[in-house]
Amino acid sequence: MSEKGYKKITYDIASPNLPVANILLIYTGGTIGMGASESGKLVPYDFKKMLKHIPEINTYDLHITFISFKEPIDSSDIAPIHWNHIIETIADYEKDHDGIVILHGTDTMAYTASALSYALNGLNKPIIFTGAQLPITVPRTDARENLLTSLEIASAKTKDGTPVVPEVCIFFNHSLVRGNRAQKMESVKFNAFRSANYPLLAESGVSIRYNYSSIMPFNKKGNSKIRIPNWFLGVAILPVFPGITREAVLAVLDNPSIKGVVLETYGSGNAQTSEWFTSCIKNAVKNEVLIVNVSQCVGGEVMQGMYATSAHLEEAGVVSGSDITVEAAITKLMFVLGSEKSYKNAINRMLEPICGELS
């Protein structure tokens, strides 16, 4: 795996008591592990240096295996190849571990969590992404609380010994959010993530209160065979706005390398009805470009046909994204188009939830 730019720096923390769970902790980078460089800019720190700032980790009755990216990165540099590095690591180690915690920058955490929710669907294990708004080296950091609570959630088991949260999530600032419903909404305050159109899966305070009815049930017949996805990269996001030109629309829709588009529309899925715009959409659909309608609104859902300003999209063959987020929609397009050759089947897969990303 190291040829792929991913080095396993493995060392274990073994509790002196019988460990209640085995946890795999993967460090990819992000603010949580950053420190100031000589030029004063924040850059990712080495993993071992980072852990020195959180000695509390040694007090848990857990056995923790640490794995780090060879070069920890700012999550703005994350690409599908890195998703696969994480998936490969999980495939290599998951059998001996009850839960997985992934330290990741917040900027693209919702994309990675969405992508991994599809790729690891059926694994039936807690996969908890977390990070921080302030580096772990800073006294007032949020890293400590985020990491320690994520470890607790990843190791939580029911009376039957099954995991309490057998799905991909983000834990941040006291809230546990389904990974493919998460959106980064705040770059300064600690409440970086929100859950779009879905309840929180848990909240932490004096204790961790789980919202059992919203958590994906443990599937006894779960599929633990992990396949490395072939992410299809010919996708794009096209937000509409008043004054958008034909040239801008065609640059995306009339581009032979683009086969999947998230069309970010107004309100409940509306866009202009001008003849040129409608014909750009129709031509793209005729050329088997899979267009998914996702709203620019932060809440609610797409209801194609409710207004005349969305009926033309429905008629043209645009697929309704219902209440999916842009992050979950674009990664789902990459996942589906990477494995599905038939246009019709790909449309059907976009309409159906894979793992709770749409209602």
Q: Return the number of the residue (139 or 242) whose C-beta is nearest ligand ASP.
A: 139
Question: What are the tokens at 174?
Answer: 């006291």
Alpha helices by DSSP H, listed for 11-132, are 47-51, 80-93, 109-119
Count CB atoms within 10 A of the CB of residue 243.
7
The DSSP secondary structure of 128-183, one letter per residue, reads EEE--SS-TTSTT-SHHHHHHHHHHHHH-B-TTS-BS--SEEEEETTEEEEGGGEE
Q: Which two tokens stand for residue 350?
A: 């976009």
What gap in Å lies between CA 237 and CA 247, rounded to an integer? 15
Closest chain position to ligand ASP (CB): 105
Residue type, 238: L
- Classify residue 218 by its DSSP letter: P
What's the closest the beta carbon of residue 107 comes to ligand ASP, in angstroms?
3
Q: Which is nearer to ligand ASP, 106 or 304 (CB)?
A: 106
Contacts of 269 (CB under 8 A, 6+ apart): 293, 295, 302, 303, 304, 306, 310, 313, 320, 321
- 31 noted as active-site residue: yes
> Which residues of the shown chain bind ligand ASP in the complex (CB under 6 A)?
29-31, 74-76, 105-107, 131, 133
DSSP label at residue 250: H
Which residue has tokens 């309840």?
Answer: 199
Task: Point out the catalytic residue in the list 28, 31, 141, 331.
Answer: 31
Cα 271 versus chain centre, distance: 27
Give dist(CA 130, CA 5) in Å, integer: 22
Nearer to ligand ASP, 65 or 106 (CB): 106
CB of 101 to ligand ASP, least distance (A): 15
Q: Which is nearer to ligand ASP, 97 or 104 (CB)?
A: 104
CA distance 254 to 145: 48
Q: Report the residue number, 124 or 175, with the smaller CB distance to ligand ASP.
A: 175
8: which strand partners?
none
Q: Residue 65: beta bridge partners?
A: 12, 24
What residues are paired with 291 via a beta bridge?
A: 261
Asked if 107 contacts 184 with a C-beta cutoff of 8 angstroms, the reply is yes
**Least gap, CB of 185 to ligand ASP (angstroms):** 13
- Distance of closest approach, residue 102 Cβ to ligand ASP, in angstroms: 12
Residue 141 to residue 137: CA distance in whole angstroms? 7
Compute the least distance from the CB of residue 32 to ligand ASP, in Å: 6
**Shortest spacing between CB 269 and ligand ASP, in angstroms:** 30
Return the number of the residue (76 or 219) whose C-beta is nearest ligand ASP: 76
Measured from the CB atom, the residue of 135 and 229 that comes closer to ligand ASP is 135
Distance CA 311, CA 62 (A): 55
Can you tell me which residue has the tokens 């700012």? 74
At its nearest, how many Å lie between ligand ASP and the CB of residue 138? 12
Residues acting as catalytic residues: 31
